[in-house]
C-alpha cells in the first residue's frame, strides 16, 4: 500500500507518540509505509515543526548507526499551568477533607487522564538525563509513577510495604515516618534493580519526607544514583524536609477543617 504524505505524517506521529522515548529507525518507516528514505525524512521535518508549533511535544532525530527518530513528551509551562490549576481547583473542594485533616484524593490520583498529564510534567523535568528506572512505594503513588515511567520509557519499580513470597529473595529496610515517627518497612526483590542504576523517585505526597528518605536509603542498597525526586503534593510545613532536593507539582499550604478551606497552589517553578 502506497500512502500519501498526510497519511504518512499522521501514521508517523501516531506510532511515535504511542511509544514515547523509543527510537525508531528510518528503515522501520520506509518498510511500513513503502516509501523512500528521503520521503520519510521530509515527513519527519513536517511532523517535527508542527509538533513544536502546536506545543504537542518534541520529535527528535538521532544521527549515527543507532540513530533514528523518537518522540519526547514535553510539556510547556503554559500547559503545566492549565493542568496544575485544574487539579488545584479540584483539590480545593471542601468536601475532600476527611477526619484528621487528610484530603480524599483517590478520584484525582487514580484518574488516568490526570495522572498521564502529571507523569508527562515529571518526565519533562528530566529530559536529557539518563534515567534507568522510576521508583515508587505502594500504593497511591503508583499511577503517577507509572505514567512518568511510560513517558520516559523506563521500567517502574514498586517498593512493597511487606515482602511477598512471589518476589524471590528480597531486600528490606526499616524507615521512620517523618510526620508520625512510626517505624515502617519497605522491601523489594533483589533482582528488581541493576546495581549502579540511575533512578528517579515519584510519590503522591510528601510531608516531612520520611518515606522519600526511606526510598533513598533503599536505593543505596543497590548503589543507585537518585537523579531526582518528584511528588505530586508537598506540604509547605514543615519547611525543612528530610530530603533536600525534590520537585513538587503542588504545594499544600493549609487545610482548615473548621472553615472547610483548602489552600493549594502550583509549584511556581513549573508554571
Considering beta carbons, is residue 53 or 239 the nearer one to a copy of itself?
53
**Closest by Cα among 1, 18, 3, 11 to 44:** 11
Burial of 183 (0-12, 13-18, 19+ CB in 10 A): exposed
Identify the residue among 11, 35, 176, 251 touching a copy of itself (CB under 8 A): 11
CA 37 to the chain's CA centroid: 34
- Of 63, 65, 66, 113, the one binding a copy of itself (CB under 8 A) is 113
Query: Any contact of residue 184 with a copy of itself (CB under 8 A)?
Result: no
**In terms of DSSP bridges, do strands 261-266 and 198-206 run parallel, antiparallel, or are they unpaired?**
unpaired
Taking the complex as a whole, the smallest distance from the CB of residue 226 to a copy of itself amounts, in Å, to: 18
Side-chain-facing half-sphere of 131: CA atoms under 13 Å: 30
User: How near is the Cβ of 115 to a copy of itself at its closest, in Å?
Assistant: 7
Considering only residues 63, 65, 100, 183, which one is a binding residue for a copy of itself as defined by CB under 8 A? Answer: 100
Distance of closest approach, residue 237 Cβ to a copy of itself, in angstroms: 18
Please give the grid coordinates belonging to residue 198: 540511575
Strand boundaries in 97-153, DSSP class E: 97-98, 102-103, 133-137
Site for a copy of itself in 120-159 (CB under 8 A): 138-139, 142-143, 146-147, 149-150, 153-158
CB distance 40 to 8 below 8 Å: yes
- Interacting span for a copy of itself (CB under 8 A) from 81-89, 99-107, 229-237, 240-248: 99-107
Cβ of 262: how many Cβ atoms within 10 Å?
Answer: 20
Q: Is 216 within 8 Å of 159 (Cβ atoms)?
A: no
Q: For residue 230, what is its C-alpha cell?
A: 518528584
Shorter beta-carbon distance to a copy of itself: residue 112 or 269: 112
Our CB check for a copy of itself shows the closer of 138 and 237 to be 138
Interface with a copy of itself, residue 85, by CB under 8 A: no
What is residue 43's three-state secondary structure? helix
Q: What DSSP line would sit under 194-214, residue for residue?
A: -TT-EEEEEEEEESSSHHHHH
Binding of a copy of itself by 195 (CB under 8 A): no
Site for a copy of itself in 57-76 (CB under 8 A): 57
Residue 116 C-beta: closest distance to a copy of itself, Å: 7
Site string for a copy of itself, 212-251 (x = CB under 8 A): ----------------------------------------
**Torsion-angle region of 128 (φ positive above 0: left; ψ -120 to 50: alpha; else: beta):** left
Q: What angle do CA 254, 259, 265 make, to 5 degrees?
A: 30
Residues binding a copy of itself (CB under 8 A): 1, 3-7, 9-15, 17-19, 22, 32, 46-47, 49-51, 53-54, 56-57, 98-100, 102-107, 110-113, 115-116, 138-139, 142-143, 146-147, 149-150, 153-158, 160, 165-168, 189, 191-192
Amino acid at each position: 500500500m502506497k500512502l500519501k504524505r498526510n497519511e504518512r505524517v499522521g501514521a508517523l506521529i501516531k506510532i511515535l507518540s504511542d511509544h514515547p522515548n523509543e527510537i525508531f529507525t528510518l528503515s522501520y518507516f520506509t518498510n511500513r509505509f513503502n516509501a523512500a528514505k528521503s520521503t520519510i525524512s521530509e515527513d519527519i521535518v513536517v511532523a517535527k515543526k508542527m509538533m513544536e508549533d502546536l506545543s504537542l511535544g518534541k520529535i527528535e532525530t538521532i544521527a549515527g548507526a543507532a540513530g533514528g527518530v523518537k518522540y519526547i513528551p514535553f510539556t510547556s509551562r503554559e500547559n503545566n499551568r492549565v493542568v496544575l490549576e485544574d487539579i488545584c481547583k479540584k483539590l480545593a473542594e471542601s468536601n475532600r477533607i476527611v477526619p484528621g485533616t487528610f484530603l480524599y484524593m483517590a478520584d484525582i490520583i487514580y484518574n488516568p487522564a490526570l495522572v498521564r498529564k502529571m507523569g508527562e510534567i515529571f518526565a519533562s523535568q528530566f529530559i536529557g538525563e539518563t534515567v534507568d528506572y522510576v521508583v515508587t512505594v505502594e500504593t497511591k503513588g503508583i499511577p503517577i509513577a507509572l505514567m512518568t515511567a511510560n513517558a520516559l520509557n523506563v521500567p517502574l519499580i514498586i517498593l512493597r510495604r511487606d515482602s511477598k513470597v512471589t518476589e524471590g529473595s528480597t531486600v528490606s529496610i526499616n524507615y521512620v515516618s517523618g510526620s508520625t515517627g512510626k517505624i515502617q518497612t519497605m522491601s523489594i526483590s533483589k533482582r528488581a534493580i541493576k546495581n549502579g542504576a540511575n533512578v528517579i523517585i515519584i510519590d503522591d505526597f510528601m510531608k516531612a519526607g520520611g518515606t522519600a528518605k526511606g526510598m533513598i536509603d533503599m536505593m543505596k542498597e543497590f548503589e543507585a544514583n537518585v537523579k531526582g525526586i518528584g511528588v505530586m503534593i508537598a506540604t509547605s510545613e514543615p519547611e525543612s524536609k528530610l530530603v533536600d532536593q525534590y520537585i513538587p507539582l503542588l504545594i499544600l499550604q493549609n487545610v482548615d477543617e473548621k472553615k472547610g478551606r483548602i489552600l493549594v497552589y502550583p509549584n511556581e517553578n513549573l508554571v
